[in-house]
Structure 1
Amino acid sequence: MRMLGDGRPWLRTVRRLLNGVAFGVVALGLALARIQVAPDVYFDARNVPIALIALFEGWPAGLVAALPVAIYRWFWLGGIGTVPGLVSVACAAAAGGLVHWWATRSGRVRTAHTFGLGALTFLTTLLGYAMLGAPGLGKFARTWPHFLVAYVGGIGVLATLFQNVVERERLHAGERRFRALLDESSEAIRIVDAASRRILETNRTDCALSGRPRPALLGRDAREFWPEDAAGRDRWEALGAEVDAAGAASAFGLPLRTAGGAVRSIDLTCRRVDRDGRRYDIVIFRDAGPREALDAARREVSDLRAITLIANATAHEINNPLTVIVGSLELLQRRLDAEGQETRWIDRAIDASQRIRDIIARMTHITRVEASGAFPGVPAMLDIHRSSEDNTGRH
């Protein structure tokens, strides 16, 4: 019934009721399979499952479990022991509910709770026999060792076994939740044994970035995914040394070798954790591609702004003296012979000045950063033509 889970209140209620019905059927079977221990004296352990289910699911489930036995006693068996029998099973359910409340305050069912419930159940059985008067107490005197073993010992042992099963199921449920949360993370998570560097756990995002399924990652040495070049391996070694010294470290643009030998860039954070005498590295990383693209875009915007400011200032400072130079050349051209050598020199100077004007015009319309081809010994330069051609319409 644990499959119904504890996530929703109505599911918990349904689970408890169904568990109560199931244990009620067991209690009814025990009541029908009673054992004769003396003439006209019978023994059965019907209160054991009632008390147990009330211990683990609360008094409502205990009352549901007591219902089949009560119906059998009232409508089928009858006799002077009907009312005491009903009181006995109801008190067993109440005792289980009381110990359930006690165990809830303690955080879990412990040995004291289980054997305490066994003792209370034994007393509820004594109460039922006592309600029959002297004949009932006489019968109880001949059967009490059986009840003592069945209730105190039986409930104590069975409750301990049930608690182990419940805790194991809770542990498995916690592992499943941990596995689900791990796989839903948008970032790759890898848990590595710090001593052996073996991968102990991973998630779906790690498998996607590494290009390998989970079984192919678990148990592998994390160093197998380092790049082959010395520079990349040195960066990983430096990261490990920082984790050893400080307990945590981060790195950006770290190379990771994926399936097929391809290398991709990742941003990584690693934290060292000590647990039960062992050290673990919790490694969280993501693809650095989007971050690097964003950084490149930001650098280009910054570069473009700086270039634009310089270009506009340069254009302003050059245009003023250039206007004076071109005007002076044109005045000088009018005074010279149209066919003379000096006029041709002035024409070339005016043409060169016009080219300068065109360059300045392009400088004031730069919209992106395009570098010219690099040559040995020559630093990269801005290609003004390619950086502004979309706005000027010139090719």
Structure 2
Amino acid sequence: MDFHHVIEAAGIVALGLVFYSYLRRWLESTARIDRRLRVLLNGVVFGGLSITLMISRIEFAPGAYVDARAVPIALVTLVEGGWAGLVAAVIAAGYRLVWMGGSGALAGVIWLLATAGTAALALMWARRDGQVRNRHAFALGGAVFVVTFASFLVLGARGIEMFARDWLPLLVVSVVGIGGFARLFTDVANAQAAEAARRESAELRAITLLARAAAHEINNALMVVAGGLAILAKHLPADSEDAQWAARAREGVVTVKNIITRMNSITQIEAVPGQGMLPPMLDIRKSSDPANS
């Protein structure tokens, strides 16, 4: 086996890991792009990595080659979901069908699409267990190897003959490539999710401290206003216009008291989008509503 080819293939997958790490960190820290575009970006990039791995084949015997095209598709599905895997698989399948062509094109397309589907099923299993673990990743590697065998069967006797020659390096690529790199990818995803949660928690703490301090100061002044209005109401004729204005002022005091209560009950951050010259601001009602928690 040409280990230079192995190192080259591993480097390509590692490049995908670096890209995924930086893209996820940038998107989660800036919130500029929604998840759908993140899925699309990752799908396109990992589809490109799959194509690159088709080109950068691994020679394991004179004139005999395998490649790790299924690895990026399985990995991106496992960490970003089925849609990202489907995008990657479609891009790679398009290259296999249109650019490479040949009698094995159909088998190659089936292999790529089935890999994405298998990885999506593995992700569903992992989510039921709480998160992606080693058993899910290595089981996916084994399942992809089975899918690879099934795609060779599409070629008939020639495919069986080729698989009998290639099965061991394909097994290593599937199980070690997917199982090993999946741990790295999930570590990146989990670490950045934890970092985002810590950042959000710190932001929420800062907002709640500020809101409670402001509510306390407003409440002190409001008590003086409420007391003055109560005294004033006793000295005004019941049906006079001044009494009506005082009653409206007391209603305003009640409204402000309700706002103060909400300011002391903030449990999450919900913002109102900016409009015109107004910047985005905290939506106190939604941020303190238990139904939104």
TM-score normalized by the length of structure 2: 0.62
* Cα pair distance change 1:140/1:6, threshold 3 Å: farther
Match of 1:46 among 36, 46, 69: 69
| Contact 2:141–2:175 (Cα < 8 Å) also in 1 | yes
**Local SS of the residue matching 2:139:** helix
**Local SS of the residue matching 1:36:** strand
Gaps of 5+ in 1: 190-204, 207-283, 309-395
Q: How does 1:135-154 map to 2 (within 5 A)?
A: 135-154=158-177
In the alignment, what sits opposite 1:165? 188
In the alignment, what sits opposite 1:95? 118
In the alignment, what sits opposite 1:105? 128
Q: How does 1:75-90 map to 2 (within 5 A)?
A: 75-90=98-113
**Local SS of the residue matching 2:34:** helix
Q: Distance in 2 between matches of 1:88 and 1:22?
A: 19
Match of 1:126 among 149, 155, 158: 149
Identity fraction in percent: 38
1:259-308 deviation line (CA, Å, top 9, x unaligned): xxxxxxxxxxxxxxxxxxxxxxxxx8679666556667788899999xx9
- Does residue 34 of structure 1 match 2:57? yes
User: Could you tell me which amino acid in structure 2 is paired with residue 45 of structure 1?
Assistant: A
In the alignment, what sits opposite 1:20? 43
1:329-384 deviation line (CA, Å, top 9, x unaligned): xxxxxxxxxxxxxxxxxxxxxxxxxxxxxxxxxxxxxxxxxxxxxxxxxxxxxxxx
* Cα pair distance change 1:297/1:71, threshold 3 Å: closer
Shift, 1:177, TM fit? 1.1
TM-score normalized by the length of structure 1: 0.47
* Cα pair distance change 1:82/1:52, threshold 3 Å: same
- Does residue 114 of structure 1 match 2:152? no
Aligned length: 211
| Contact 1:109–1:163 (Cα < 8 Å) also in 2 | yes
* Cα pair distance change 1:300/1:52, threshold 3 Å: closer
Shift, 1:36, TM fit? 2.6
| Contact 2:153–2:159 (Cα < 8 Å) also in 1 | yes
User: Could you tell me which amino acid in structure 2 is paired with residue 167 of structure 1?
Assistant: N
* Cα pair distance change 1:296/1:120, threshold 3 Å: same
User: Greater strand share, 1 or 2?
Assistant: 1
User: Could you tell me which amino acid in structure 2 is paired with residue 129 of structure 1?
Assistant: F
User: Could you tell me which amino acid in structure 2 is paired with residue 54 of structure 1?
Assistant: T
* Cα pair distance change 1:35/1:295, threshold 3 Å: closer
Shift, 1:146, TM fit? 1.4
User: Could you tell me which amino acid in structure 2 is paired with residue 134 of structure 1?
Assistant: A
| Contact 1:5–1:11 (Cα < 8 Å) also in 2 | no
Shift, 1:154, TM fit? 1.6
In the alignment, what sits opposite 1:334? none
Q: Distance in 1 between matches of 2:95 and 2:217?
A: 72
RMSD value over aligned CA atoms? 3.2
Q: Distance in 2 between matches of 1:72 and 1:296?
A: 75
Q: Distance in 2 between matches of 1:174 and 1:79?
A: 49
Shift, 1:86, TM fit? 0.8
Q: Distance in 2 between matches of 1:289 and 1:68?
A: 60
In the alignment, what sits opposite 1:244? none
1:218-244 deviation line (CA, Å, top 9, x unaligned): xxxxxxxxxxxxxxxxxxxxxxxxxxx
| Contact 2:29–2:196 (Cα < 8 Å) also in 1 | no
Q: How does 1:147-296 map to 2 (within 5 A)?
A: 147-185=170-208, 189=209, 205=210
**Local SS of the residue matching 1:42:** strand
| Contact 2:115–2:147 (Cα < 8 Å) also in 1 | yes
Match of 2:93 among 54, 58, 70: 70
- Structure with the bigger RCO (C-alpha within 8 Å, sep 6+) is 2
Q: Distance in 2 between matches of 1:288 and 1:12?
A: 39
1:32-82 deviation line (CA, Å, top 9, x unaligned): 011232354311000000111112222222121122322222222222111
Shift, 1:140, TM fit? 1.8
**Local SS of the residue matching 2:60:** strand
Q: Distance in 1 between matches of 2:99 and 2:159?
A: 21
| Contact 2:79–2:189 (Cα < 8 Å) also in 1 | no
| Contact 1:6–1:12 (Cα < 8 Å) also in 2 | no
Gaps of 5+ in 2: 1-22, 236-293
